[in-house]
Structure 1
Amino acid sequence: MTISLKYCNITVNDVDESIAFYSGALGLQVLMDVPSGEFRWVTLGSDAQPGLGLVLSVPHAGRSQADGDALQELLTKGELPMLVFSSDDVDKTFETVRASGAEVLQDPVDQPWGPRDCAFRDPSGNMVRVAQEPAA
């Protein structure tokens, strides 16, 4: 038996603004953008990990009003789990993301546990980290 991650959800306030950030600043490609009732099924991906889709959805998509409200509150407070991407050049990635206007949380730094990483907030307030493994 084999198992692999197929989709990972990212809760966002504005799908179009998030597409611009994740595709423009991070270089991901839009894999699907299909209407789904009053919402959309939008997935982004990378050639570096074929078969993995990041799903962008607003807090109330497919949820009850109460659950959507609770998720919106967590998103607004910046309390949703962070996303961590891997890059082969974290400094170059940092400059590209910073140039996009993203809020910088941490400049690139060598972490004591190994990777060099940096951190931003996406347009919805989600923390996004980018890490590069140390050279062998």
Structure 2
Amino acid sequence: MAVTRIVANLAAPDPAALAQFYREVFELDLTLDMGWVAFLASDASQAIELHTASQGGSGTPLPVISIGVDDLAATEAAVRAAGAQIVYGPVTEDWGLRRFHFRDPAGNLVNVVDS
């Protein structure tokens, strides 16, 4: 048996609106909208990862998802421009990772990391 993918599901009272937020901030493509669920994707590929944790690191709450980006400063600007609140960072952690946390319009805590 081999895992072929892991998908994050973000709770949202209005999935289409939240999908639009993520399309704008992270330049993702809307591949399917069924009303109750919206699928977003990109052509990028990555290794499969699943993290288990008791906190978010540095004493922060545990985010529901981590998103790696190639330009943290540009992503921070896009998050702010979209009206989301940065609640932690940007900071370079003791373990060398540069990141920030924000709350999306549905209240989900998201970790954005410089990958």
TM range (shorter): 0.7 to 0.9
Superposed CA deviations along residues 7-46 of structure 1, whole A, max 9, x for unmatched, are 3211112112201211011211111113xxxx53321112
Query: How far apart in 1 are the matches of 2:24 and 2:79?
Result: 8
2:104 pairs, out of 106, 119, 122, with 122
How large is the Cα RMSD of the aligned pairs?
2.3
- Matched pairs, number: 102
What TM-score, normalized to structure 2?
0.76
SS of the residue 1:8 aligns to: coil
Q: Tell me the amino acid that sits aligned with residue 45 of structure 1.
A: A
* Pairs within 5 Å for 1:42-121: 42-49=38-45, 81-121=63-103
Runs of 4+ residues over 6 Å off in structure 1: none
Alpha-carbon displacement from aligned partner over 1:40-62 (angstroms, at most 9, x marks no partner): 33211121138x9xxxxxxxxxx
Is 1:131 aligned to 2:110, yes or no? no
Aligned-pair identity in percent equals 33
Larger radius of gyration: 1
CA distance in structure 2 between the partners assigned to 1:108 and 1:41 by the alignment:
30
Aligned pair partner of 1:40 in 36, 41, 52: 36
More strand by share: 1
Aligned position for 2:52: none
**Amino acid of the structure 1 residue aligned with 2:36:** R
Q: Provide the C-alpha distance between the structure 1 equivalents of 2:90 and 2:7, rounded to a whole number of angstroms.
A: 28
